[in-house]
Structure 1
Amino acid sequence: MHLGVFEVLGPQVGGTLSWPHPRSAGANFTSLDHWVHLAQVIDRAGFTFLFLADTFGYPTADGELAETAAARGINFPTLDPAVVVTALARETERLGFVVTSPTGLDHPVQTARRFATLDHFTEGRIGWNIVTGSAQDVVAELFGHDEMVLHDERYAMADEYVDTALNLWEGSWEDDALVVDRAAGLYADPAKIHRVSFEGRWFRSSGYFASPPSPQRTPVLFQAGTSERGRAFAARNAEAVFVQATTMDATAQAIADIRAEVAAHGRDPQSVTTIIGVTVVVAPTHAEAVARRREFEALQSDEIVAALYSHNTGIDLLSLDPDGTLEQVLGRGAAGQTGQTNITRFTGGDGEPAKTVREVLDALRGRGTRGFAITGDPVEVADGLERILDATDLDGFMLEPVFAPRDVEDFVDLVVPVLRERSRLPQVPTTGTLREQLSGRGSAHLATDHPGASRRARPGGAEPARTTASAPAPAGPPRQRTTPGSDR
């Protein structure tokens, strides 16, 4: 199994409260040493990657920063994760880093250069978690946009955004364009560097990509959405998918759907790595683990749940009738245009009734946006992880820390040895670029059946202009200002 850690440069993850607990060092998130320590711990343990979530948004109530969010540190404040990655790469040997970056706030050229730089400085250990954003109504106001762009349209924009970036990474430099011949004084062969062009409905670009090819050329493409449109986007673009599900049946169905759509795009369905989040509380004995989990749960409240849910979905649960369902607000304003997975899981279907607001609050208390939860001794935790793997066609897990980094250290000390004994983890951690570690293909570059591979520069001249299949090019200047929204 692949292992990662889900983190955010903030006081705590998952929209739950943990930083005040003595076991948590979350309040130290502004310290570089805090992140270096975590990265080194999981690097030595053989984890595949550290996943750094990000958003410009924050929970609101009546259009203002939610008091609970500010007072308790619920998805507020945050720092920029891309800035810390090069320092962490220097202090680790093989660990990959997945950085969340939205489609739309920057032009694709800026994003392409940023990730090319990160791929160079990490020696090919970088991934891009592609999101259309979160808390998009907040972000629209923060960035001075007139209005929020609706969910499915954001994904259409994202397809173009990724196409434009792929054009730059793959299409501008031939493999042997970089010469660096000191005797001849020749840095690069101009004949092997090509103008690349893209013209779509929302984005256009024409010119030469100034960043030389990095070890992977294109960062490993992650995506974290399991809405219908999110799955379609993943099937076309993603090499790894963070599946948003909390039951084995739902996880298995989501993975099956994603693999089927990947195959429909002419790609190998097993080439996509599927990951879910899991909150593990482990201790030497079952009783100790249960007691520790109860300490975490005692910190939670309805106000914390509501702040997180508002951030993720645009719905203020505490303003609704607790005996009613989410239908009382869906279709009004921003409600339902973000966090669709975290809405549809409570709206019923397939013979199941919709949950009341009170039931939603109870279901999310202590869980937030976290995935599965396993509490127990080392053998119980390993058993639980294996059961999920065997029942779902899953490829791995991201630990969503409760009391970071102590519970990650506990997992490394107590559970990793059990998983190695069972051959679920290699005795010697894998090495290479992030793409090589995830795919096992022995190639640092995109698979040949990925759409981006067709954009690779070929000898003999410039590549033709690329256009997106999602929409015709506009008659006038493209609208390059977009507002992100949650792709979950």
Structure 2
Amino acid sequence: MTRQMRFNAFDMNCVGHQSPGLWAHPRDKSWQYKDLEYWTGLAQTLERGVFDGIFIADVLGVYDVYKGSAYHAIQQGAQIPVNDPLQLVPAMAVVTKHLGFGITASISFEHPYPFARRMSTIDHLTKGRVGWNIVTSYLDSGARNLGQSTQVAHNDRYDVADEYVEVLYKLWEGSWEEGAVVRDREARIFAHPEKVHQIGHKGRFFDVPGYHLSEPSPQRSVVIYQAGASSRGKAFAAEHAECVFVAAPSKTILKAYVADIRRRAAAAGRDPRKLFVYTLLTVIVDETDAKAQAKFEDYQSYVNYDGSLVFMSGWTGIDFGQYAPTDLVRKVETNAIISAVEALSEGDPDKKWTVEELAKFGGIGGMGPVVVGSAATVADVLQDWVAETDVDGFNLAYAVTPETFEDVVQHLVPELQKRGAYPRAYVPGTLREKLFGDGPYLPATHPAARYRDLGRQHRTAEAAE
């Protein structure tokens, strides 16, 4: 039986996202990121293509590692300006019925108590089609603007993340029992107070004593996404994540990553097949190989060298502006995205990167490969990646938007569907149900489940007093 792959669209509430310089392309509409019509139109396109969802990245800071300033980031619109991702979702949800929405929000820059309400609210408004991409942030500029002298050390950020999600699980899963809300008009009882509980959390990083302010949303805990690929990040993902995003420049790196994350999930007592891994990829597809290649070469002519290295410097914490274009990329200990440094410097022993090659590689779609060709050619490549690496799907970045996504829906999706390698329709239910085919809530094997009996714990404690 042919294995089906899955797609997410990778976008950001900004100009250009991860294709620096392509904002200048005459067909690119990323400059319309400020208009709801861009987002609603894109959402409808993706739903026609049976995409799992749109994954909206975010940063709270500016890329200022390259040459020690934000000059080139600002000049090239390299994720500045950037607007809030969450506010896009209600508009896209209104014009779609099935598309999921993965929202990036950092545990480093927002307290878990108000964040829990924000996510419950959006889960209600979308009827359960929301996920949260957990990030710990990596830009010192973001930390400074929130009163921190510098970013917390990489591994320490995950210690904060462990407690952050514990607070959220208590609020989402345990504060309101099943059946607490009855809306009984005759008895004049909206909710049973004895079934609504303060969580009483007192920890190393957070003190959250009170009630969750929202009644349980369709999924209670929204779908958990995570993009960390360092050793510490993988440990966190194996325990908590349902969907994991990775940016692997080669099949060698990706295969090792997928095997490792599934092994870790199994060791944590979870079903490793119920943890989906999506790898970053950009697809340039057209009616023929020749047309796709011509389109790719056209796109490449707009890539900006400095803009590409703005991103690479920000992601790795290495100022590539201090090196000559012919210098080789080597591992340097930084406090940014550790996995990015490891992947480029040592992940594939057969590949040595010069700074110039790195800039060219990252010029379209960021840290993921670019696949160019007709629908049949691209489908062959993607099926090969799935077969060789055991990856579940692809997080598709764009070169030119919405053209890149429209081309995938028009050309690639029908080819994959014809091969039985891609779904033809959505299944009913919440985002979690569409993805995994089970119920709307996190399974009993997930660590969130241990907080569902807060009511019993409180009653037991009261009885003992």
Q: TM-score, normalised by structure 2?
A: 0.93
Work out the CA distance in 1 between the residues paired with 2:454 and 2:24.
56
Is 2:66–2:320's contact at 8 Å kept on the other side of the alignment? no
Q: In structure 2, what is the equivalent of residue 427 of structure 1?
A: 424
Please give the secondary structure, in 2, of the residue aligned with 1:300: coil
Which ranges in structure 2 are unaligned for 5 or more consecutive residues?
A: none
Partner of 2:437: 440
Match among 359, 362, 366 for residue 361 of structure 1: 359
Does 1:109 pair with 2:107?
no
Q: After superposition, give the CA deviation of every residue in 1:398-447 in whole Å (9 maximum; x if it has no partner).
A: 21111111121111111111111111223332231110111122x00001
Matches of residues 82-481 of structure 1 in structure 2 within 5 Å? 82-135=86-139, 137-322=140-325, 324-326=327-329, 330-331=332-333, 336-348=334-346, 355-364=353-362, 366-367=363-364, 369-441=366-438, 443-457=439-453, 460=456, 462=458
Identify the residue that residue 13 of structure 1 maps to in structure 2. Answer: 17
**CA 1:368–1:86 in structure 2 vs 1: closer, same or farther (change >3 Å)?**
closer
Residues 134 and 147 (structure 1 numbering): CA distance in 2 closer, same or farther, change over 3 Å? closer
Deviations 1:193-216, CA, capped at 9 Å, x for gaps: 112122221112111112100000
SS in 2 for 1:384: helix
- Structure 1 residues 58 and 459 mapped into 2: Cα distance closer, same or farther (>3 Å)? closer
1:27-38 correspondence to structure 2 within 5 Å:
27-38=31-42
What TM-score does the superposition give when structure 1 sets the normalisation length? 0.89
Mapped partners of 1:354, 1:47: distance in 2: 35
* Inter-partner Cα distance in structure 1 for 2:25 and 2:327: 34
Contact 2:85/2:103 (<8 A) preserved: yes
Match in the other structure for 2:75 = 71
Which amino acid is the alignment partner of residue 398 of structure 2?
P
One-letter amino acid of the structure 1 residue matched with residue 445 of structure 2:
D
**Which one scores higher on RCO, CA 8 angstroms, separation ≥ 6?**
1
Shift of 1:62: 7.4
**More helix as a share of residues:** 2
Q: Contact conserved, 2:199 with 2:454, CA < 8 A, in 1?
A: no
CA deviations 1:204-242 (Å, max 9, x no partner) are 211111210000000000000111111011011101100
Contact map agreement 1:58 1:65 (CA 8 A) in 2? no
Identity of aligned residues (%): 37
Q: Would you say the 8 A contact 2:224–2:241 is kept in 1?
A: yes
In structure 1, stretches of 5+ residues that fail to align are: 466-488
Question: What CA deviation, in whole Å up to 9, does each residue of 1:253-312 have, x standing for no partner?
Answer: 101100111111111111101111210111111111001101111112321222112222
Greater Cα offset, 414-423 or 152-161: 414-423
The aligned residue for residue 486 of structure 1 is none
Stretch moving more, 93-102 or 405-414: 405-414
For the Cα contact (< 8 Å) 2:43–2:54, is it kept in 1?
A: yes
SS of equivalent to 1:51: strand
SS at match of 1:98: strand
Counterpart AA for 2:223: V
- 1:195 and 1:462 in contact (8 A); partners too: no
Contact 2:255–2:390 under 8 Å retained in 1: yes
Do the aligned partners of 1:15 and 1:368 also contact (CA within 8 Å) in 2? Answer: yes
Q: Given residue 457 of structure 1, which amino acid in structure 2 is its aligned partner?
A: D
Deviates more, 1:220-229 or 1:382-391: 382-391
Code of the aligned partner of 1:159? D
Size of the aligned set, in residue pairs, is 457
Once the two structures are superposed, residues 338-392 of structure 1 have per-residue CA deviations (whole angstroms, 9 ceiling, x without a partner) of: 121221123237755864444433443x246241211111111111111111111
Task: Give 1:98's aligned amino acid.
Answer: G
Provide the rounded CA distance (Å) in 1 between the counterparts of 2:21 and 2:453. Answer: 49
Aligned equivalents of 1:310, 1:452: Cα separation in 2: 36
One-letter amino acid of the counterpart of residue 48, structure 2: R
Describe the shift of the 1:374–1:261 C-alpha distance in structure 2 as closer, same or farther (beyond 3 A). same
Structure 1 residues 433 and 338: CA distance shift in structure 2, 3 A: same
Tell me the C-alpha RMSD between the 2 structures. Answer: 2.0
Deviations 1:430-485 (A, max 9, x none): 231110111122x00001100001111366463899xxxxxxxxxxxxxxxxxxxx
Q: Which moved more, 1:137-146 or 1:92-101?
A: 137-146
- Please give the alpha-carbon distance, in whole angstroms, between the structure 2 residues aligned to 1:215 and 1:193: 17
**Counterparts in 2 of 1:150 and 1:369: CA distance versus 1, 3 Å:** same
**How many Å apart are 1:101 and its aligned residue?**
0.3
> Take 2:283 and 2:459, find their aligned partners in 1: how far apart are those partners?
49
The alpha carbon displacement at 1:163 in A equals 0.8
Amino acid at match of 1:422: R
In structure 2, distance between residues paired with 1:368 and 1:284: 21
State how far apart, in whole Å, the 1-side matches of 2:349 and 2:314 are: 29
CA gap of 1:304–1:445, structure 2 versus 1, over 3 A, is same
Amino acid across the alignment from 2:314: H
